[in-house]
Amino acid sequence: MSDSPPGGWKIKVPKTGVEFKHYDFRAISNAYKSHCNANGILLSPNWQEEFLSEMCKQNPHWGRKCRPAIANTMKRRRLSLTAVLSFLNMLRAWAQSTLSGKAAFVSQEEAERRAGICANCPFNTTLQFSCGACMGAVLTLIQGILGKRKTELDNSLGACLICSCSLKAAVHVPVDVQREGLSDDLKDDFDKINYCWKRVEK
């Protein structure tokens, strides 16, 4: 792993609060290991994988830089029109039932943060179906739910290969609303992706 993210690799040791920065991955991983050993922090046999996972968690803006190892262990599901429409209809029903005056959607800042993560995620795929009428129905639903809401990365947002949600819509909706409609298997998959904003800490 020779190429470093913009600004170099960095990680804060959770148990001590000490932060390490370096442009060389081997150098920062060795410094992290030495620091843990010196401070009585036990490292598991898989400590390097856990080290990389922790860096991804602390720096979600790094995009694909350190995510392949996680992505390779996850199941990519075939994009389903039925699932996409089901997700959008669920969001529409939720939005319509939300009490007037209540902040139904997340803030623009939060939506932009989520969009930045999804845009660089290997599970982000093109939202496209061969049936023109089907795509028209999908786009009409998205517009009806979001109105004029957009993010700066909308052109990079498609659909999620884990749950078939429309990412343009999903980034604006509270996580608890979206997780209510997920199976336990899908929830578990999201919870394994340490950089995903849909995961829930256990």
**Assigned domain for 86 exists:** yes
Distances (CA, A) of 113 to 10, 13, 119, 148, 167: 19, 24, 10, 18, 13
Give the model confidence (pLDDT) of 138-173 as tens digits: 667 777 777 788 999 898 898 888 888 889 888 998
Q: What whole-number distance in Å separates Cα of residue 175 and Cα of residue 109?
A: 15
* Range of the structural domain that residue 116 is part of: 81-192
Residue 202: its pLDDT value, please?
58
pTM for the model stands at 0.60
90 and 36 housed in the same domain: no
131 and 165 housed in the same domain: yes
Residue 97: its pLDDT value, please?
59
Residue 193: its pLDDT value, please?
79
Residue 159: its pLDDT value, please?
86
**Assigned domain for 201 exists:** no
Residue 146: its pLDDT value, please?
77
Are 172 and 118 a contacting pair, CB within 8 Å?
Answer: no
Pick from 130, 11, 127, 133: which is nearest to 62 by CA? 11
Domain end point (choices 66, 95, 113):
66
**Which parts of the chain have pLDDT scores under 50?**
2, 99-101
Q: What whole-number distance in Å separates Cα of residue 187 and Cα of residue 86?
A: 17
165 and 102 housed in the same domain: yes
**Assigned domain for 13 exists:** yes
**Assigned domain for 51 exists:** yes
Residue 103: its pLDDT value, please?
59
User: How many domains is the chain built from?
Assistant: 2
Residue 19: its pLDDT value, please?
95
The phi-psi region of residue 21 (left if phi > 0; otherwise alpha if psi is between -120 and 50; otherwise beta) is: beta
**Assigned domain for 155 exists:** yes
